[in-house]
Amino acid sequence: MTPSTPDPKNPENAAAGLIARIRRSGAADAALVSAADICVEDDLARHCREPRCENYGRSPGCPPHVSGPAGFRRLLKGYHRALAVRIDVPTRILLAPERRDVLALLHDIVADAERAAVGMGFANARAFAGGACKRLFCRDHAECRVLASGGTCRHPDRARPSMSGFGINVSQLMKAAGWQGEYLDPNAPAENSGMSWIAGLILLD
C-alpha cells in the first residue's frame, strides 16, 4: 500500500488527512458525517424555481439540469460517509458583493478535496458547494459553455454543483457535523460583523 492510499483498516486516517488539508485551504473546519445523517428535502430544492433564483437554469450544477432531491437520495445510497466543510464569514460579507469571493473559495476548497480524495483511493468522491458557478466563475460570459454548445466547462477544477438544487438541508448538515445550525444569526444586524457560515460537502465512500 502506498502512503497516499487510504488504509482500509483505519479509514479515519485518510479522512483526517483530508480534514487537515481542507483546514489548510482556508475553511474554518471540516468533519466526517454519516451519509445517513444527510437530510434531503423536496421543499428546499423547490425554492430554486419558486420564487425563481436568478441562476435557475444557467449552469449544469443548478436546476433543472441536476437530478434534484430524488436523484440525490439515489446517489446517497451508494455512500456511507461524507465530509462537511464550513467557512466562517462575517454576516455583512454574506450580504455584500464580496459574497462571491467567499463562495468561489468554497468551490475551490471542495473541488480540491474531491481531487485529493480520489487520489487517496476514494474513487467515487464527489463534491458539492453553495452558489451557482455561472455567477461565480462565468459572470462575464453571456452563457455557460456547457449548456450553450455542449462544450467543456471553463473552470472544471473549480466549479461544483450547488447543494441547493438537490434539496440538501445545510443546517442539518452543520448539526450532524457538530456545529451550530443557524445560517444567519437573527440577533446580528446586517451592518455589524456578526458571524455566519457557508458550507460544502464531499461524498467520500
Residues that bind ligand SF4 (CB under 6 A): 59-60, 133-134, 137-138, 144-146, 153-155, 159
Q: Return the number of the residue (164 or 196) whose C-beta is nearest ligand SF4.
A: 164
Least Å from the CB of residue 60 to ligand SF4: 5
Decide: 15 and 33 in contact? Cβ < 8 Å. Answer: no
Q: Return the number of the residue (198 or 204) whose C-beta is nearest ligand SF4.
A: 198
Least Å from the CB of residue 180 to ligand SF4: 30
- Give Dmax over CA atoms of the chain in angstroms: 53
Q: Return the number of the residue (73 or 145) whose C-beta is nearest ligand SF4.
A: 145
Least Å from the CB of residue 178 to ligand SF4: 32
Q: Return the number of the residue (58 or 92) whose C-beta is nearest ligand SF4.
A: 58
Least Å from the CB of residue 25 to ligand SF4: 19
Least Å from the CB of residue 146 to ligand SF4: 5
Whole-angstrom distance, CA of residue 172 vs CA of residue 116: 26
Decide: 159 and 61 in contact? Cβ < 8 Å. Answer: yes
Helix (H, G, I), strand (E, B) or coil at 179: coil
Got the DSSP string for 99-165? HHHHHHHHHHHHHHHHHHHHHTT-TT-EEEBSS-HHHHH-TTSSS-HHHHHS---S-TTT---BGGG
Q: Return the number of the residue (38 or 109) whose C-beta is nearest ligand SF4.
A: 109
For the beta carbon of residue 28, count every other beta carbon within 10 angstroms. Answer: 15
Helix (H, G, I), strand (E, B) or coil at 35: helix
